[in-house]
Structure formats: C-alpha cells, structure tokens
Structure 1
Amino acid sequence: MMLPISGLPVAPRPDFRWPGGRRMALWVAVGVESYRPDEGRTEDILPRSAAPDHVNAAWRAYGNRVGAMRLFERLSGAGIVPTVLLNTDVYDEAPEVIAAARRAGAEIVAHGLSNSDCLADMGAEEELAYLRRTRDRIAAEEGTAPRGWSSPWLAHGARTLPNLARAGFDILLDLRMDDRPVTLDTGAGPLLAVPYAAELNDSTTMIGRQVTARAFAGMIADEAEELLRNPDGPPVVMSVVLHSFIAGQPFRAGPVCDALAGLARRGSEIWCATPSRIADAWHGAG
C-alpha cells in the first residue's frame, strides 16, 4: 500500500501563522512505556541476555519510577506541556506516572497496550481490535478518548492507516515527510500526520547511534535555527521525542531539557503546543 498522501501542504494561506503570529509550533513527546518480562520486543541498553534479564528490565523500569517524573518537572518548569506516548499497561503497573502526567497537563497519545507489541505482527482484524482496545482504555481512564496514535516501534501493517481512522483516531504521530502537517487519505477517513521526529529522538539517536546528550541538545538548537531562518517562510512544526528511561536519566535530562527551555523562552517565534492543538490550528487555517 502506497502512503496515501492527499497533497503536500504549502502554507494553507499566505498569511497563516500559528497562534500569536508565531512561525513555529513545537511539541515534545515523552514515551511512557511498558514491557512484558522476557517476552516480545524490548529496548535494551546492553545486548539482551538470557531470561531473566534483570539488567535491561531495571533500566527500562527506571523511566516509570524516576525518569518520567524528572522530565515532566523539567518541561513544566520551562512552560512546555508534554505529550505522553502511553502504553496503557502503565495504568496498572505505574499509576504514579499517570498522576504526574495529569498534573503536568499532558496530552495523552495512544501508543498501544505494551511496547512488547508490534502492529506489523498482527492481522488486519486483530490490529483493529487492538487499536480500539487501546483507545477505549484511555477514554475510560481519562474521560476523553485520545485523538492521536503513535505506533510501538513506528511499525505498521498493510491496513494500519485505514484501521486508525476506523478506530476513531484523526492524528498520526509516526511520520515526518514535511515540516508541516500532511493529510493522509486512508480510504476510511483522513488522518493528519503531524511531523514526528525520527532523528530528534533519544531512542534512535542517543541509544541507536550513541550520540551524547550534549550533542543531542545541539541538534535541537540547530533544527530550530534552520526552521526559523526565513522570517517570511511558511509555518512549520518541530518535534522532539524523548523516552522516560533514556532522556530521563540524570546525565541526559539536564542538557536536553535546557535546550528545550531555551526554545520555550523564544515565545514570540515559537508556540509550545501539543498535537491536538496543532491539528486544530492547522484545520482552522483552511
């Protein structure tokens, strides 16, 4: 199935800006994840050992015990409302994280039941039921259904995009094919792909490529400078993707959150938002 792009957006109208006349919208994701012990897919800091793999399990558990709270505190102190990419098993395993996310005013984005799961391993009907189960759990816990979806492992099946529309999602947070939102025509309803950073992402970059936290902070600053270089250019979206057990580590949190706080202080140019607010502003520009 080809990616169903209904049209790459140029500025929706010549005078469009984000609220407050700003050129750039910034959203910051914090992945809050659950993994089944010694089963399915995992993110590891050391090569996975034989079960029971206590070292990697403890590294991931750090995020839900300490790292997420650290990131929420730092982001809130900078005036940035986090977007939580949530595995719903966390509701049962670490309710304190959910309480902290609510205190931070976070937008909850559906991220599956567990990060040991992968949509690419499911058939179409199983996948649709899984999407609905994830959405329904968040709706029951938060009182409002999530609009956004982000796939575990950024993986998709042949019917994922139409299934997301059928399951009631209208925002996809997996892709970056432009610096602006792009509407995907799924055949079952539109999805707005709000730019998601595959590289300004602590998992792919700080773990996958072993980039230091200070170098990652420099990448954040460089991206913002380039996106804002042309003051008369079209509106753009910048995203930064963090995970509680990666950027939430003490030696990483400081440089990364300081870089984000520096962007938040540029309030005349940068609108710190969440995916739903970005989608609403974008749709309202038509």
Structure 2
Amino acid sequence: MKGFPKPLALSVSVMLEGWTDDSAPGIGPMGNPLKAGVLDLQARSWAEYGPKVGAWRLLDILQRLEVRSVFYVSGLLAERYPELMTAIVAGGHTVAAHGWGQNIIPSYQTAEEEAHDLERCIKAIAAATGRPPPGWLSPRCTPSARTSSLLAKAGFDWHADFFDSDLPSLHRTPEGAIVAVPFTMEVNDMPLYVRYGAEPEAFTRVLERIVANWPRLGRPAGCLDITVHAHVFGRPFGAIEFMNCLETARRYEEWAWLTDHRTLAGLCKTS
C-alpha cells in the first residue's frame, strides 16, 4: 500500500470493555455459564479488572517499549473512569469507541437505539478525553447494516468491523466515505486464550510464525493486528506475553513495523 514504510503493518490495539449493570460477560474463566436469568457476578468482577488494574499495566508496558496503541473503549467505561482516559491520551495513545457496553450488539438494535447509543458513546469519550473518538469497533465486531453510515455522518475517520481485506480501503456509504480498517484475529488473546484454551505463549508463537514467514507469502503488503483485552492479558501472565510479542515484532524490522489503526486510516485517506 502506498505510504507503508515497510510491507507488514503490525497494529497494536487494547480492548477496554465494560458491561451495563444488568449484564456480564457471556464467557469467563469459570467456563460453565450460569442458567438464564442469573447475573454472573464472578464474570462481572473478572471483567472489572480491566479498567481497575489491567489497562494501567498495559499502559506501563507500552510506555516502556515506546509503542503507540489504540484503546477501544466502551462508552460507559469512559464515563466511569475519566482519569484512565486522561492517562491513555497523556501516553500518546488514541481512545476509539467500542460501543456503549459490550453486551449491546448493533445488529440487534433498532435504528433509533443504535443512533442513541452512538451519540452517548461519543459524548462520554469526548468529555473524558477532550476530543471525540476518531475510530470505531463494534462489540463482538458485529455492526448493523447502517453502522458505517452512522459513523460517516458523525465524522469518524475509520471503522474496524471489516474482515475481507489485508489492507485499509475507503468504504462508501450514503453519508460519505469512511476508512475500512481490516481487523485480524490471529494474534488476539480472546480467541487464543479464552475461547480455544491455548497457553499464553501461543500469542507470541503465532505472531512470530506469521511475521517471520511474511516474505515467503508473495503479496508485498498487509496488516496484522496485535490485540489484547485489558481484563484478560492485562493480568501478569498475559502482560508478560504482550511484552514478548512486541519485542519479537521488533526483531523483524526489516519488513515489519509497529503501528496502530489511527495511523493506517490516515495513510489510507492520503494515498
């Protein structure tokens, strides 16, 4: 892609997810979901580690390694933890939007409900950081058919709910164009560790397998995401692997570079 300094862009993202008071993560470390209608307070407490502890540890690692990231934040967490939002911005990172709550899926909402939640998400992040969020990733990465149009109308620069390309591209909507940033799942703690039960070291092993072999694949340019959740790999066992992964990526600087979605969206808009 024009503007890429090196063929393989490694985008670093931190998911900072919250659930509304009447909900909890549908999956957690205990493994056995509670029966319908019962609020899983263990899963809620597990998730709350993210804004209380995990995000701060990940911020420290990013600062020490001098890596810039996009934090995808639930609007309700921006409202509840403004001091954390301030620290993220002060560290040189970007606060993007990740829906109002992780249990609110745009594809299940009416047009009015989705527009309402988008508006309050923008307001909460802007109030906490001093600027509206420039990018968006839906909860579960599952938008509605109208999400891109709503984002373009609201002035967002990029939308990351796309899985059909190796490279960013301009996505045309009835409300104007927005950059479609591809989101890859291969180096992501949620499927690797939580869903598939792989050991933490798999995170770095998968990353190195892809990056080391990239020149052999033929196509010169592409994007690969390095994604952690503050309530999952913000814990010590995962944070160690996050450090290992970033340090491993830097061993392949001949053809790979650490970046973030905001930078990729900017390159797409100017190319």
TM-score between both structures, scaled by the size of structure 1: 0.84
Are residues 1:48 and 2:41 paired?
no
CA deviation after TM superposition for structure 1 residue 103, in Å = 3.3
Partner of 1:62: 49
The separation in 2 between residues aligned to 1:187 and 1:229, in whole angstroms, is 40
Cα gap change, 1:40/1:63 in structure 2, threshold over 3 Å: closer, same or farther?
A: closer
Are residues 1:246 and 2:232 paired?
yes
* 1:169 aligns with one of 139, 144, 156: 156
Aligned sequence identity (%): 26
Deviation sequence 1:24-49 (CA, Å, 0-9, x none): 22211111111124426644222333
The separation in 2 between residues aligned to 1:86 and 1:185, in whole angstroms, is 25
Cα gap change, 1:88/1:268 in structure 2, threshold over 3 Å: closer, same or farther?
A: same
* 2:67 aligns with one of 74, 77, 80: 80
CA deviation after TM superposition for structure 1 residue 228, in Å = 4.0
Partner of 1:26: 10
Amino acid in the other structure paired with 2:110: G
The separation in 2 between residues aligned to 1:203 and 1:252, in whole angstroms, is 11
Amino acid in the other structure paired with 1:99: T
Are residues 1:152 and 2:139 paired?
yes
- Checking the alignment, whether the CA contact within 8 Å between 2:97 and 2:121 is kept in structure 1 is yes
Count of aligned positions: 268
The separation in 2 between residues aligned to 1:99 and 1:131, in whole angstroms, is 21
Are residues 1:140 and 2:127 paired?
yes
The separation in 1 between residues aligned to 2:181 and 2:134, in whole angstroms, is 12
The separation in 2 between residues aligned to 1:139 and 1:93, in whole angstroms, is 13
Amino acid in the other structure paired with 2:34: S
The separation in 2 between residues aligned to 1:71 and 1:178, in whole angstroms, is 28
Which moves more between the two structures, 260-269 or 210-219?
260-269
Q: Secondary structure at the match of 2:125?
A: helix
Q: Secondary structure at the match of 1:198?
A: coil
CA deviation after TM superposition for structure 1 residue 240, in Å = 1.5
Cα gap change, 1:143/1:272 in structure 2, threshold over 3 Å: closer, same or farther?
A: same
The separation in 2 between residues aligned to 1:111 and 1:169, in whole angstroms, is 13
- Checking the alignment, whether the CA contact within 8 Å between 1:79 and 1:264 is kept in structure 2 is no
Which moves more between the two structures, 53-62 or 268-277?
268-277
Q: Considering only aligned residues, what root-mean-square deviation do their CA atoms show, in Å?
A: 2.3
CA deviation after TM superposition for structure 1 residue 199, in Å = 3.2
TM-score between both structures, scaled by the size of structure 2: 0.88
* 2:105 aligns with one of 93, 111, 118: 118
Greater fraction of residues in helix: 2
- Checking the alignment, whether the CA contact within 8 Å between 1:200 and 1:219 is kept in structure 2 is yes
Q: Secondary structure at the match of 1:173?
A: strand
CA deviation after TM superposition for structure 1 residue 219, in Å = 0.7
Q: Secondary structure at the match of 1:89?
A: helix
- Checking the alignment, whether the CA contact within 8 Å between 1:80 and 1:264 is kept in structure 2 is no
- Checking the alignment, whether the CA contact within 8 Å between 2:187 and 2:226 is kept in structure 1 is yes
- Checking the alignment, whether the CA contact within 8 Å between 2:10 and 2:259 is kept in structure 1 is yes
The separation in 1 between residues aligned to 2:34 and 2:21, in whole angstroms, is 12
Are residues 1:200 and 2:172 paired?
no
Cα gap change, 1:36/1:136 in structure 2, threshold over 3 Å: closer, same or farther?
A: closer
Amino acid in the other structure paired with 1:131: L
The separation in 1 between residues aligned to 2:184 and 2:262, in whole angstroms, is 17
* 2:19 aligns with one of 31, 35, 52: 35
Deviation sequence 1:100-145 (CA, Å, 0-9, x none): 3123211111111221211122111321232222123222332222
- Checking the alignment, whether the CA contact within 8 Å between 1:81 and 1:105 is kept in structure 2 is yes
Cα gap change, 1:226/1:124 in structure 2, threshold over 3 Å: closer, same or farther?
A: farther
Amino acid in the other structure paired with 1:270: A
